[in-house]
Amino acid sequence: MDAVDLGVNLFVALFALVDPIGNIPIFAAATAGATLRQRLSVAALICLFAGVFLAFFFLTGLGLLQFFGISLAAFRIAGGILLLLLGLDMTREDFLKSFADTDVGSDPADVRGYARRRFQRLVVPFAIPLMIGPGAISTIIIQAGEATKIGPAATAAGYVAIAAAAFATFLCFALTGPISRILGEVGMSIVVRVLGLILCALAIQFILLGLSEAIPGMISSVVTTPYPDAAH
């Protein structure tokens, strides 16, 4: 693997794990009634935060987890539990309402104030762990280790991939208005519930993988790696 391969692979993996398209219904509910400038400002703050957060983990690698004495297996299990709780919440009928925009009716010209208030509300649980979950962080840490082996060019490619993934996510959120109008309220609710089910399954997968790493031989590899041929 060279620097270009690492950068491309990291971008594809991050875009799939952050899943901005699947998160559009939640972002639409969180910014309902906002002007285009207000929505773009919120999207910019969230994507900037995501990019900086991922770049930080790419820089520190396993160092931060080692500093706190946390194994990657424990991180997977803890992150899996958080994702499971969030996935269960997403299957509830009133999940989108929990992200409802309480600033509707505020001054449309108040772009910065609106963006700051919405960003503070959406950092948890939207930005973390829904967008940036254990899968994205684990991928970043693993690829950081690979980049160290390849050299400075691979490290630079990794940062470019993170920036590209954050920008692609911003573009997806920028299209929230047209997409939400096409899907409608019912369509967005269905997408969120299906995403919640997938998130629950993904969370269980993280927990099983973490347990298999913490207690070797406890769980069959058929469960932790169900489709080995698909990875090739």
Helix (H) or strand (E) holding 40: helix 36-60
pLDDT at 107: 60
- Phi then psi for residue 212, to 5 deg, are -65, -30
Sorted by sequence, the CB contacts under 8 Å of residue 37 that are 6+ apart come out as 111
Tell whether the torsion through CA atoms of 66, 17, 163 and 116 is positive or negative: negative
pLDDT tier, 232 (very low <50, low <70, confident <90, very high otherwise): very low
pLDDT classification of 97: cutoffs 50, 70, 90: low
Mean pLDDT value of segment 36-57:
93
When pLDDT is averaged across residues 205-214 and rounded to a whole number, the result is 84
Q: Note the pTM of the prediction, 2 decimals.
A: 0.75
Confidence of residue 170 (pLDDT cuts 50, 70, 90): very high
The pLDDT of residue 218 is 76
| Average confidence (pLDDT) over 55-70 | 85
Tokens (6 digits) for 77:
């299990």
What is residue 58's predicted lDDT score, i.e. its pLDDT?
A: 93
* Share above pLDDT 90 across residues of the chain, in percent, rounded to a whole number: 21
Q: Which residues contact 164 (CB under 8 A, 6 or more apart)?
A: 11
Distance CA 91, CA 82 (A): 15
Compute how many other C-beta atoms are within 10 angstroms of the C-beta atom of residue 66.
Answer: 12
Tokens found for residue 137: 């962080």
Q: Which amino acid is at 194?
A: V
Angle at 115 between CA 112 and CA 120, to 5 degrees: 125
The answer to whether residue 83 scores a pLDDT higher than 80 is no
Give the DSSP letter string of 48-102. Answer: HHHHHHHHHHHHHTTHHHHHHT--HHHHHHHHHHHHHHHHHHHTSTTTGGGG--T
